Amino acid sequence: MRGLEKCREILEYDCPDVLVLDEICTAVSLGLIGEDAVLRFLQMRPGNVEFVLTGREATPGIIGAADLVTEMREVKHPFSLGQSARKGIEY
């Protein structure tokens, strides 16, 4: 919830053109944050700000609230070859 509070502060004081809520869909699907809190946050979006929500397993509610939904799938990834995650790239 602190992350959404920080996003509210950013909207109130900075009003960016784009606000990225990175991996928020995953956080909702894992139960780390409630879908209802995210949906309430989405409703307060100023008309001039684009929200970008990332992460796997977007809920039906989040999908319904979105203007655009894209699903990506792995075609080729170094993990498949046994390579470890790299600091600054995958984490």
Neighbours of 3 (CB within 10 A): 15
What mean pLDDT do residues 53-60 have?
94
Phi-psi region of 23 (alpha: psi -120 to 50; beta: other; left: phi over 0): left
Instruction: Report, as an integer, the average pLDDT of 58-72.
Output: 93
pLDDT tens digits, 6-19: 989 988 888 899 99
Q: What is the pTM of this model?
A: 0.77
Q: Is the pLDDT of residue 29 over 90?
A: yes
CATH assignment, 2-81: 3.40.50.300
* Start-to-end CA span in the chain (Å): 21
Q: pLDDT over 90 for what percent of the chain? A: 54
Q: In the chain, where are the structural domains located?
A: 2-81
